[in-house]
Amino acid sequence: MQIGVLNDDFLPETRVSATPETVRKMILKNHDVWVEENAGLLSGFENSAYLKVGAKIKNRAEVLSADIVLSVLPPQKPDLAFFKAGNWFIGAMTDAFNKADLKALADTDIGAVNLSKMPRISRAQSMDVLSSQSMIAGYKAATLSLDYLKKTAPLMMTSAGVLPPVKALVVGAGVAGLEAISVLRRMGANVLAHDIRPQSQSEIESVGGKFIEDYAGELKTVDILITAAKSTNKKPPVLFLKKELEKMPKFAVIVDMADGNIEKDFKRDDLVFICDSFLERRLPVSASFLFSNNILAFLEAFDYMGPNADFKDEILAQTVVCYDGFLRGKIR
């Protein structure tokens, strides 16, 4: 079986869907691996690293004709002409396609797997790209906020005086939010947090945060605000309006991980405002390591989409977007 690895770095993407290590493991299973030229360059992997483990470097058209095509991102419209009926495309396709695009994808008669639709069950944890990438993004949100902050994070007691710990507020305590809380706490910050889910209080407290209800009322005293309230394929809720953010102290740092939790035209020259829903792209080495391992776990669990794959399995039932002309269970 031929497995192709696409180069996604012509977009804002920096990650790669297969590292030399996961490629090596695929080759040990007697698969041929074709890697598009410079696919791993922005993640720190030269073409030579893939050649060393036995992969072949190919052009994009050749990679797209492989039995299985791996990608971080959805297929691009020009790619559809190179797909072969019966082959597979596997990637993360969150918010990627409208109905017309999905129809065009189904019309190629390939199978497409959207790893962003992975069910949240214990058996699927090793394949869960949303969780792995959200964890990296949450870490980056915390460290980025500290980089821009004009204060030290922990309590410091010195002969010259006492420096109090910074105060942070994290709203949205999913994987990304919990990781941000954990990192900020380890760096010595006092962290307040909120989430609408009933079980969130215990989760927040388990990583060192303090659960609060009236999060808007804390804005006048926090040095860092991180918002991470978003759901797959849904528009993120606006949590803070401009008039509320005017209460924040000078030199505070805001990180909107959802690209929409903060009112869009907010601006204050004495604040740092970072709006980025793909912070994991800023740590491509670590993000690619986890993403590629998620994909490898998926391929191995389903026999590389071969004859032994159980298409009635709950995981495939939720992640397969189209197959053999069928789109979401309906004949095109």
Statement to judge: residues 46 and 174 lie in one domain: no
Percent of the chain with pLDDT over 70: 97
* pLDDT at res. 312: 87
Average pLDDT, rounded, for the chain: 93
* pLDDT at res. 330: 46
Q: Is the dihedral of CA 151, 155, 157, 163 positive or negative?
A: positive
Statement to judge: residues 255 and 198 lie in one domain: yes
Statement to judge: residues 68 and 12 lie in one domain: yes
What is the number of structural domains in the chain? 2
- How far apart (Å, rounded) are the C-alpha atoms in residues 268 and 33? 50
* pLDDT at res. 328: 63
For range 196-219, the mean pLDDT: 94
Statement to judge: residues 254 and 226 lie in one domain: yes
Place of tokens 């388990």: 206
For range 244-267, the mean pLDDT: 93
Which of the listed residues 246, 267, 282 is the one where a domain comes to its end?
282
Model confidence, pTM: 0.93
* pLDDT at res. 121: 95
Task: Check whether 181 has a pLDDT greater than 80.
Answer: yes
Interhelix angle for 129-148 vs 284-301, to 10°?
Answer: 170
Using one digit for the tens of pLDDT, what is the confidence trace for 269-305?
999 999 999 999 999 999 999 999 999 999 999 999 9
Q: Is the dihedral of CA 97, 100, 106, 110 positive or negative?
A: negative
- How far apart (Å, rounded) are the C-alpha atoms in residues 224 and 165? 12
For range 310-321, the mean pLDDT: 91
Statement to judge: residues 191 and 278 lie in one domain: yes
Statement to judge: residues 278 and 293 lie in one domain: no
Using one digit for the tens of pLDDT, what is the confidence trace for 86-130?
999 999 987 667 777 888 888 999 999 999 999 999 999 999 999
Residues 6 or more apart in contact with residue 63 via CB below 8 angstroms: 4, 5, 6, 34, 35, 36, 69
Statement to judge: residues 144 and 120 lie in one domain: no
Domain that holds residue 259: 137-282
Using one digit for the tens of pLDDT, what is the confidence trace for 1-49?
999 999 998 778 999 999 999 999 999 999 999 999 999 999 999 999 9
For range 196-207, the mean pLDDT: 94
Ramachandran area for residue 324 (φ above 0: left; ψ -120 to 50: alpha; else beta): left
Place of tokens 């490898």: 296
Residue 170's beta-bridge partner residues? Answer: 193, 226
* pLDDT at res. 157: 96
Q: Write out the two tokens for 83.
A: 């797909």
Percent of the chain with pLDDT over 90: 83
For range 188-199, the mean pLDDT: 95
Statement to judge: residues 96 and 146 lie in one domain: no
Residue 162's beta-bridge partner residues? Answer: 157
* CATH number, residue 216: 3.40.50.720
* pLDDT at res. 309: 86
Statement to judge: residues 65 and 96 lie in one domain: yes
3-state secondary structure of 128: coil
Task: Check whether 329 has a pLDDT greater than 70.
Answer: no
Statement to judge: residues 231 and 298 lie in one domain: no
Statement to judge: residues 164 and 295 lie in one domain: no
Geometric angle at alpha carbon 123, from 122 and 126, rounded to 5°: 95
Strand 272-275 relative to strand 156-158, pairing: unpaired
**63 confidence band (pLDDT: 50, 70, 90):** very high
Range of lowest pLDDT (6-20, 152-166, 179-193, 315-329) = 315-329
Statement to judge: residues 194 and 253 lie in one domain: yes
